[in-house]
Structure 1
Amino acid sequence: MKEDILKNAQILWDYHNLDFALEEADFILAMGSHDERVAIHAAQLVLDGYAPLLITSGGFGKVTKKIWNTSEGKHFANIAEKMGVPREKILVEEEATNTGDNVTKSKAILASHGINVEKGILVTKPYMCRRAYATAAKQWPEIEWLVSAPELSFGDYPNSEVPLDRMINLMVGDLQRIKIYAEKGFQIPQEIPTTVWRSYEALKKAGYDTFVIEN
């Protein structure tokens, strides 16, 4: 892959990947995706005592609808259970099709169980941290949010299941959504430095526009 593509992709990666100091919370929300490492990381946080409850949220997204027969929520719950998280500590949400749904439908599930919460930990892919936080802060502002992701570098993240080309396409799409979804009121605004937007434009021009949406 060309050096300029990798350089611009690294810039987007660094922007997307927020670093929160973790604290104990009331629940962990594993945001469904194609990356099983998110489920593994969320389950490990529960096992490490960061929260007594795990919500695995997700129906079928733009990637998983093509590769899995089981919903993201159920798939992630199965992974957590195999790792040793007791089934009674897991709530499964299987209808969410986007980041906002992950938050609002998980909120509804907690309410239906009569569970009151004040602090949650979002667990997602490294390059989804900023958009996940911006969405949760807008869609459920009454509680405090922290964010965590598998500790992987830009170079170490891609693998056979999450190839580099797909990752770059997804990062480009998420960068666009950080801008336009704030304008639509779906997320709280996030400042996008000029250098980051230039990298987005360069990658889109280079053909990494699979998940770019028409305004």
Structure 2
Amino acid sequence: MISAQAWADTRRLWDYHQMGHTVRPCSVAVGLGSHDLGVADAAVALYKRGMAPLLVFTGATSATTRVRMPRGEAVHYRERAIELGVPSSAVLVEPRARNTGENVQFSKALLEEAGVEVSSVLLVSKPYEERRAYATARKAWPGVEIISASTPMTLNEYVDSIQDARLVIDMLVGALQRLLIYPEQGFMIEQRVPADVLEAYERLCREGFTSRLLTTDKPST
């Protein structure tokens, strides 16, 4: 049973993780690979709205996607985009990246090799990964405007789509931890974390929502 306080704290983290950027036309949309085909759907929706003339899907496989996406996350995303009506000529695939930093670095290299001039990027991720993706891209792709985007949905809608409330909370907590520790490791730019968000994170850690924390820095419970 998840307490009312835990839900309130989860909503604080959910709201913080979303950047609230206004979407506008960009040079390219980059969809970050994951278990969630909703990222591909969101990228396709942006393409159909004329927000980007080209889609890049990036991602290999991981322990959580190997069975569901045996051909690789980026390949499955591409197949989904074509299924939804995007011409194959408007989709590039980066099939090697295994983390967010590599997603950005390898996509940047792919576009350079293809001769695509990039001044702005629509960075498409899961809703709770918007801020982490943004902070990573700002570090790895300097000089390019980054606009974070995801499928518009509420926390309740996302929980319903995953069908595992505890896992969703664990993922939100894990994403916040990385925002706290990765800047010192050089993986992303620093993001200001408001006191109420930090307090919510610490309470959720004490409540045991820790399965997605890095074990080297797992807070005591």
**2:182 counterpart SS class:** helix
Quote the offset at 1:200 in angstroms: 1.1
CA distance in 1 between counterparts of 2:122 and 2:161 reads 28
* Structure 2: unaligned runs, 5 residues or longer: none
**1:128 counterpart SS class:** helix
Instruction: Show the 5 A alignment for 1:21-170.
Output: 21-65=22-66, 67-159=68-160, 161=162, 163-170=164-171
Q: Which moved more, 1:10-19 or 1:155-164?
A: 155-164
Aligned equivalent of 1:17: 18
**In 2 relative to 1, CA 22–11 (structure 1 residues): closer, same or farther, beyond 3 Å?**
same
Aligned equivalent of 1:206: 207
**2:115 counterpart SS class:** coil
Any conservation in 2 of the 1:47–1:84 contact (CA below 8 Å)? no
Structure 1, residues 102-142: CA drift from partner, whole Å, max 9, x if none? 10000111111121211110011111111111110010012
CA distance in 2 between counterparts of 1:65 and 1:5 reads 31
Any conservation in 1 of the 2:173–2:205 contact (CA below 8 Å)? yes
* Structure 1: unaligned runs, 5 residues or longer: none
TM-score normalised over the length of structure 1: 0.95
CA distance in 2 between counterparts of 1:152 and 1:123 reads 14
Quote the offset at 1:68 in angstroms: 3.1
Q: Which amino acid aligns with 2:140?
A: Q
Quote the offset at 1:211 in angstroms: 1.3
The two structures, once aligned, show a CA RMSD in angstroms of 1.4
Q: For this pair of structures, how many residues does the alignment match?
A: 215
**In 2 relative to 1, CA 210–62 (structure 1 residues): closer, same or farther, beyond 3 Å?**
farther
Any conservation in 2 of the 1:35–1:162 contact (CA below 8 Å)? no
CA distance in 1 between counterparts of 2:38 and 2:31 reads 10
**1:122 counterpart SS class:** strand
TM-score normalised over the length of structure 2: 0.93
Q: Which moved more, 1:74-83 or 1:53-62?
A: 53-62
Any conservation in 1 of the 2:78–2:93 contact (CA below 8 Å)? yes
Q: Which moved more, 1:60-69 or 1:139-148?
A: 60-69
